[in-house]
Amino acid sequence: MQDFSAKRGVVHSEVMLPEGAPEHLGDRERLWNEVEAVEVRKDAQLAREVEFAIPREMTQAQGIELARDFAQSEFVDQGMIADVNVHWDIGEDGLPKPHGHVMLTMREVTVGEDGSVGFGGEESAGASFLRLDGTAWTTDKDGILLALLASEILAVTGKTPSQLYAGLVAEFGDPAYERVDAPATPEQKATLGQLAPEAVTATTLAGEDITAKLSHAPGNGAAIGGLKVQTEHAWFAARPSGTEDVYKLYAESLISAEHLAEVQAEGRAVVAEALGS
């Protein structure tokens, strides 16, 4: 697991604890040693990382306050331990590139009656099951509940989940997905973040008609922070990086990996034309 506090340009490093968490977990080394000790699987995910940009117009003190307030409201107040590190790097253009990294524990901190500490909760390989009214029925840590569900699916339908998935693949195609990065100047990233769908003049993508050009989510109107283009069997989305001079291109094809490569290539061309580059 990466220790961001040891990297160059760090101007603030702090472990923020939720209410009731033992104070000794504020020591970074002890915290992550204990997190690692409770995992028995070699491939267990020990933490998740959140990376965010800080406006370069801010002073370092303002940037640190912003990072701490963000970590407190979004994570610590929700019961998570947040390992917060603020970086104030200088880019190749000579301007500051302030950003923050937050490493989060994957499990809830629980304190026993005898003062003992444990980490418990759902891990990345688990699942949540809901009642019909939408409230949580239970969470599953090691897949036992999913195994029972698979057994019930077989008993009711006469087919295993893998057979049912094969049927979906036959109907909709075998999906191929990848995220890649492409170079972008700060000016291009700013433009991409505010790009309107009308800026896309292309009508086809990888041999299919474009069916949607989106800058906001259809469900709630929230800004995507970039651009998404869809066809019947594929899509790509482009969003600027918050800390690097690149944009991220996400793409998926329901046809094949070869088709995905076409979507990626034409997606880059669509973005380049929209940015005027």
Q: Is the predicted pLDDT of residue 113 greater than 70, yes or no?
A: no
Residue-by-residue DSSP string for 213-263: EEEE-TTT--EEEEEEEE-SSEEEEEEE-SSSSEEEEEEEESS-HHHHHHH
What is the structure's pLDDT at 222? 82
What is the structure's pLDDT at 127? 67
What is the structure's pLDDT at 25? 85
What percent of the chain has a predicted confidence (pLDDT) above 90?
Answer: 37
Which of 119-128, 145-154, 217-226, 244-253 shows the lowest per-residue confidence on average (mean pLDDT)?
119-128
Query: Residue 26, Cβ neighbours under 10 Å: how many?
Result: 15
Q: Is the predicted pLDDT of residue 248 greater than 90, yes or no?
A: yes
pTM over 0.85: no
Average pLDDT over residues 222-244: 91
Distances (CA, A) of 85 to 59, 60, 71, 74, 77: 16, 12, 10, 15, 18
- Tokens standing for 15? 């472990």
Average pLDDT over residues 48-64: 89
What percent of the chain has a predicted confidence (pLDDT) above 70?
Answer: 82
User: Reduced to 3 states, what is the DSSP secondary structure of residue 268?
Assistant: helix
The answer to whether 81 touches 104, Cβ cutoff 8 Å, is yes
Q: Is the predicted pLDDT of residue 1 greater than 50, yes or no?
A: no
Distance CA 227, CA 142 (A): 37
Q: What is the pLDDT of residues 121-174, one digit of tens each?
A: 444 455 667 777 767 676 665 567 777 788 888 998 999 988 998 998 888 778
What is the structure's pLDDT at 122? 43
Query: Residue 256, Cβ neighbours under 10 Å: how many?
Result: 14
Distance CA 221, CA 262 (A): 29
What is the structure's pLDDT at 15? 92
140 or 76: which leads in pLDDT: 76
Which of 8-12, 51-55, 58-62, 207-211 shows the lowest per-residue confidence on average (mean pLDDT)?
8-12
